[in-house]
């Protein structure tokens, strides 16, 4: 040890001996060094966990989300949001599996609701003729075709305001459900509003899920529909769940809504006591003769941007991790790369076949080729096997 080092050591020892307060010790030790920086840095307050990190940390669904949390997640840089959604998706689902669903329009047209987007409403000038309810045999034939092409869920759609006032129709549809189940397929119906007692009849027939979409946010809803309230829709979902049937509920993007409406739409769904088992995301297909198509034609700025759709899907995956997110109507208008990104963001089901009610749909052969190209495979039927969502109360 040289003379200079020895002298510094003596000075250091001397100062340590006489200093009683840590802060003074830090200052004295710091004075020995050229830059005079404190050795002990003051403690910093803990950083608040981000909403995205909080969502990512959860092991099961929660229903205590706030709009502020959803807004923060939604506005995460897009690459990070999709990346995290894909990783989180893998905690709850097999990333290589996609459920193929088929929608059968068992009763088309003649609906008395005034939904501004729908071709089946009598209030819209779409020249769609009302048709009678299909026979059971016709439905079974359609279901067999769907199964032979890899579908594991068949949804039966009827253009009714409510099925609860249609006793004979409900009896026939109940038989349809039983026959679809015999094929080893999951059964889903979308029949408008329904009372709990009638939902129980469908439950007794073996119905897997009941579809009833909320369409959009509570705030934007009155701009789209006036003949049925938002709470009417929520009541139907509640009736279905009370009857022991899985709820299939989602909405339509592209109805002239804002980003804030996407957040409000997700808020309604993710704060339900029981999250939807199935969450269909539809991309609006503007149909000539509907008011919404006319509005979008006049104002091009209201058309849906794909980025907004992708953010909505990824956010839905982060806050409703066990739900099956279904890429539904409008998929045929999307590029292959856009579809791929939707699956990266957390979608894991598609509708396949000739039509989605009255709009075009990607065909079975096309989808088989697409999934094979991506290294994905059809999901097996999980009728009666998927556990219901577990809801915890958690706070940041």
Check 248, 270, 342, 361 and give the catalytic one.
248
Q: Which residue ranges make up the annotated binding site for [2Fe-2S] cluster? A: 155, 188, 248, 326
DSSP for residue 206: T
- E-state strands within the chain: 97-107, 153-158, 186-190, 209-211, 246-248, 251-253, 278-283, 324-327, 349-351, 355-356, 359-360, 377-378
155 noted as active-site residue: yes
Nearest to 250 by CA among 134, 346, 390, 361: 346
What CA–CA distance (Å, rounded) separates 212 from 189? Answer: 9
115 noted as active-site residue: yes
347 noted as active-site residue: no
Check 71, 101, 115, 153 and give the catalytic one.
115
Check 111, 342, 347, 361 and give the catalytic one.
111
Scan for tokens 């759709």, then name that residue: 309
Contact call for residues 55 and 73 (beta carbons, < 8 A): yes
φ, ψ dihedrals at 325, nearest 5°: -95, 120
What CA–CA distance (Å, rounded) separates 374 from 344? Answer: 11
394 noted as active-site residue: no
**Cα dist. 73→51, 68, 316, 393 in Å?**
6, 9, 10, 19
Check 84, 101, 166, 188 and give the catalytic one.
188
Q: Which residue ranges make up the annotated binding site for [4Fe-4S] cluster? A: 111, 115, 118
Contact call for residues 99 and 147 (beta carbons, < 8 A): no
Check 118, 342, 347, 361 and give the catalytic one.
118
What radius of gyration do the chain's Cα atoms show? 28
Nearest to 74 by CA among 66, 226, 378: 66
**Cα dist. 16→13, 28, 40, 147 in Å?**
5, 9, 15, 82
Task: Compute CA 392 distance to the chain's CA centroid, rounded to the nearest angstrom.
Answer: 19
Check 71, 84, 153, 155 and give the catalytic one.
155
Check 71, 228, 326, 331 and give the catalytic one.
326
Residues taking part in catalysis: 111, 115, 118, 155, 188, 248, 326
């Amino acid at each position: 040890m040289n003379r200079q080092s020895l002298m510094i050591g003596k000075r250091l020892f001397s100062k340590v001996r006489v200093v009683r307060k840590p802060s003074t010790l830090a200052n004295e030790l710091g004075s020995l060094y050229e830059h005079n920086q404190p050795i002990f840095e003051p403690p910093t307050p803990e950083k608040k966990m981000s909403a995205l990190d909080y969502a990512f940390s959860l092991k099961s669904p929660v229903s205590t989300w706030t709009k502020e949390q959803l807004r923060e997640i939604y506005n995460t840089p897009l690459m990070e949001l999709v990346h995290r959604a894909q990783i989180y998706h893998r905690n709850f689902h097999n990333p290589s599996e996609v459920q193929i669903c088929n929608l059968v329009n068992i009763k088309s047209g003649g609906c008395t609701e005034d939904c501004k987007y729908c071709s089946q409403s009598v209030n819209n000038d779409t020249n769609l003729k009302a048709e009678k309810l299909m026979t059971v045999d016709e439905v079974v034939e359609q279901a067999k075709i769907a199964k032979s092409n890899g579908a594991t869920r068949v949804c039966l759609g009827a253009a009714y305001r409510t099925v609860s006032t249609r006793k004979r129709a409900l009896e026939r549809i109940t038989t349809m459900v039983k026959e679809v189940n015999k094929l080893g397929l999951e059964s889903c119906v979308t029949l408008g509003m329904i009372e709990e007692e009638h939902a129980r009849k469908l439950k007794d027939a073996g119905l897997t899920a009941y579809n009833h979409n909320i369409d959009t946010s509570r705030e934007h809803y009155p701009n789209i529909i006036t003949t049925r309230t938002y709470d009417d829709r929520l009541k139907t979902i509640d009736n279905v769940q009370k009857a022991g049937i899985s709820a299939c509920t989602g909405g339509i993007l592209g109805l002239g809504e804002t980003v804030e409406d996407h957040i409000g739409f997700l808020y309604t769904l993710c704060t339900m006591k029981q999250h939807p088992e199935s969450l269909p995301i539809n991309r609006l297909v503007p149909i000539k003769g509907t008011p919404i198509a006319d509005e979008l034609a006049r104002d091009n700025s209201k058309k849906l941007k794909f980025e907004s759709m992708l953010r909505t899907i990824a956010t839905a995956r982060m806050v409703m991790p066990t739900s099956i997110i279904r890429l539904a109507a409008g998929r045929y208008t999307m590029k292959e790369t856009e579809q791929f990104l939707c699956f990266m963001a957390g979608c894991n089901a598609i509708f396949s076949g000739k039509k989605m009610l009255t709009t075009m749909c990607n065909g079975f052969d096309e989808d088989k080729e697409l999934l094979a190209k991506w290294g994905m495979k059809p999901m097996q039927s999980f009728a009666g096997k998927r556990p219901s969502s577990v809801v915890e109360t958690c706070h940041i």
